[in-house]
Structures are given as C-alpha cells and as structure tokens.
Amino acid sequence: MDIDLPYYLFWASVISGAIWAADSWFFKPKRLAEAQGKAQVDAAANAAVSEPVLVEYARSFFPIFLAVFLLRSFVAEPYQIPSESMVPTLDVGDFILVDKYAYGLKMPVFDLKLTEGVPPARGDVMVFIPPHDPRYFIKRVIGIPGDTVRYENKTLTINGERLKYTFVREFTDSQFGMPAREYIETIDDVNHLMHRTRRPERAQTWNIGPGEYLVMGDNRDHSADSRAWGLASHDNVVGKAIAIWAHKEPGWHWPSFDRNRWLEQGSHE
C-alpha cells in the first residue's frame, strides 16, 4: 500500500489529455494544411502517417488512464494485505476490495470532499492514512466519536460495556513462542475472529473526540495501531474494506480464489 496510484493516474490523464488536445487543436491542422499544399492526397490518411509517436501514445492511453483513475478514485480500489496485523480476518497476500464511496467521496490529489457518505461504524474494516505514516493502513474500527474505550487485560470495554468474547481454540504463537488464543469478538452486531496472547500490555483509556476513530488490528499482539500512535482522523479515511476477492502466497504462486468472501460490517443506523 505504498504507492499513491490515484496521484500518478491523475497526472498521467492530465498530461496525455493535454498532449492529445494540443495536437488536435493546433498542430494537426497545420500538418494537414502542409500536406494538402504539397500533394493532393487524402487528408485523414496523411494525418495518420504524419502523427508524432508521442501524440499517438497520448491519444491511445488517455481514455485508459482516465477510466482507471475514475474507477479507482470514486468507486472501488483493490489492495493487497502486506502484514499479519489483521489475521485471522485477513491473511498476508489477500487482495481486498475497498469501497471508496461508503464514507464520502474525495477528489484525489486535491483532497476535496465531494459527498458526505456515512461515518465509519464500530466493527468496520477501514483503510486510512495514520497520523505518523503516509502509507495506507487497514484496521478494525473499535471506537467512534463520543465513545470512551478502555483496553485492559486484553479485553475492550466501550462506554462501560465489556465486549463479548467467545473462545474458539488455543494454539502456539509463532513469533513469541507462547500460547495464544482465538476468540470471536462481538462489537455491536459484528462477530469477527481475533487473536491474543499472554504478552504483557499496559492498560489504556481513550475519550474519542469529533472526527476521530480508535482502530485496532484483529491480531492484537502483532498490530501497530491506535495503542501505539493514537487515533485515526476522519480527514484521512480512504474507504471501507468490503470483500476478499483473491489471495496470492509470496513467491511464484498463482492467485487463488478459495478465500473469496464479503467482510461483515458494522451497523450505520
């Protein structure tokens, strides 16, 4: 998630479109006039022969650049999961589809807000830019504006109510080499799997203000999230992850589609 593709697509569309337009309005008529003056040939055929290579490429790629830019900026965008922070919900190598319309549209590059959308809800899997890093992050929304959230002994309490945890299984954490457990964590109406170990962690409390969101990874002891760098800002929200559409293991492996599914979302009522 390191490349700001909409930025490059925007400028590729602008530059290729400008080259094509400049040639169509100024240079092409001059070429036609010169060709007609030198010989009585079909003007369109002569123009095709004499069109500069740069203009030909610009004319061919402009509609492609523009279509991809509009699709990825205003409808949906694919991302690949780079880390283990959202295991077991999202594995490394999962390709996810992000709805750019859900939380309101923004004009890429200029960061202009075009539509309001609905605010993120507890339980949503959200893509955003954190306050400490220009790259895109993906985490689960735990707390929304107005919430008081307490994290202690590996459990969450929101506005005085402890979340429900249903034990699934026990396993050995590969990184820490200690026992770990998988639970179903229920936040509002969203049930999702999460992992936690017995690794010590200090208790924290957050009072979430307007335009702020508390976010955490489902793999709690392998996630750099709001516990480390603070709250996510609504101004830097990119979109809502809505589905896994493919998966690719590292190395020379073909993508597979056995993990394809929709992601359960929070309630926006």
Give bridge partners of residue 185 from the DSSP assignment. 165, 192
Distance CA 143, CA 237 (A): 14
Can you tell me which residue has the tokens 């992050």?
Answer: 137
Nearest to 12 by CA among 60, 51, 52, 79: 60
Distance CA 15, CA 155 (A): 52
Q: Which residues contact 188 (CB under 8 A, 6 or more apart)?
A: 121, 122, 123, 266, 267
**Residues annotated as part of the active site:** 85, 139
CA-based Rg of the chain, rounded to a whole angstrom?
25
